[in-house]
Amino acid sequence: MSTIKGISQSPVHYDGSDLRVAIIHARWNKTVIEALVTGAIAKLKERGVKESNIVVESVPGSYELPWACSKVIAGAHVQANSNVNDLLGGLNFGGGGSSPKPASTPVPAGVVTMPNEPFDAVIAIGVLIKGSTMHFEYICDSVSHALMKVQLDTGVPVIFGVLTALTDDQALERAGLGRGEDKGHNHGEDWGLAAVEMGSHARRWGQGKFN
Ligand code: RBF
């Protein structure tokens, strides 16, 4: 029987060639995680996101995802600012530190490279599978609320790539790894597309540009 559930394709083909995206993933339930991360990266690249603009970091479990997203978003702003300092020739307005300034990579005359832009979107990927205690409920609840808080607090879209499965099979099917005839669908691909769409929205809407 056909279903009415699921996302409809956007009529707009979003271009990721100018976007920088971070994927932060947990390592619990590795087989499923790996498929989801691979699916997300494939769609980012398909939409033109450059390999050098995709940062992948991991944390032990899903519970660590919100803090990691928050830190990575903040760290990218520090990186971007330190680039500006490099371009200013490392001007030092005091502060007293006696440690020598690390040598910066020479930039060819006339070329301004800015590889360390802030992130346009972050994809948080985790796989929670219900066990026999209440851990699942507590982690699902706190992680989903905290990831929402990170994106609202930072203004950077955080894609909710956390599977909350009641069984192993449910998790496998949502990563395209189903053990039955129907392999299911890899939701990581949708998250990659969502990151490009939301990153593009964030750029445009942030400049007050609307359709
Ligand atoms: N992390 C996950 O990403 N997925 C899980 O299914 C998962 N199950 C857990 C079950 C138990 C009983 C415990 C103690 C931890 C679990 N974690 C899981 C790890 C959790 O997200 C976190 O990494 C640790 O609790 C350390 O803060």
Mean pLDDT split into 10-residue runs, the chain, 211 residues? 81 95 98 98 98 98 98 88 59 44 52 70 98 96 98 98 98 97 97 98 96 90
Which residues lie below 8 Å from residue 145, measured CB to CB, with a gap of 6+? none
| CB of 172 closer than 6 angstroms to any ligand 1 atom | no
Residue 109's pLDDT is what? 64
36 CA distance to ligand 1 middle (Å): 18
The catalytic position among 13, 25, 77, 135 is 135
Residue 99's pLDDT is what? 44
**135 is a catalytic site residue:** yes
Residue 108's pLDDT is what? 58
Residue 10's pLDDT is what? 86
| CB of 53 closer than 6 angstroms to any ligand 1 atom | no
Residue 89's pLDDT is what? 55
Nearest CA to ligand 1 atom 15: 135
| CB of 139 closer than 6 angstroms to any ligand 1 atom | yes
Residue 116's pLDDT is what? 73
Nearest CA to ligand 1 atom 7: 128
Residue 98's pLDDT is what? 44
Domains of the chain: 23-87+113-206 (3.40.50.960)
**Bridge-partner residues for 79, per DSSP?**
none
Torsion, Cα 6 7 11 16, to 10 degrees, reads -140
136 CA distance to ligand 1 middle (Å): 8
Residue count of the chain: 211
Q: Which helix (H) or strand (E) holds 161?
A: strand 158-165
126 CA distance to ligand 1 middle (Å): 10
Q: Are 185 and 117 within 8 A, CB to CB?
A: no
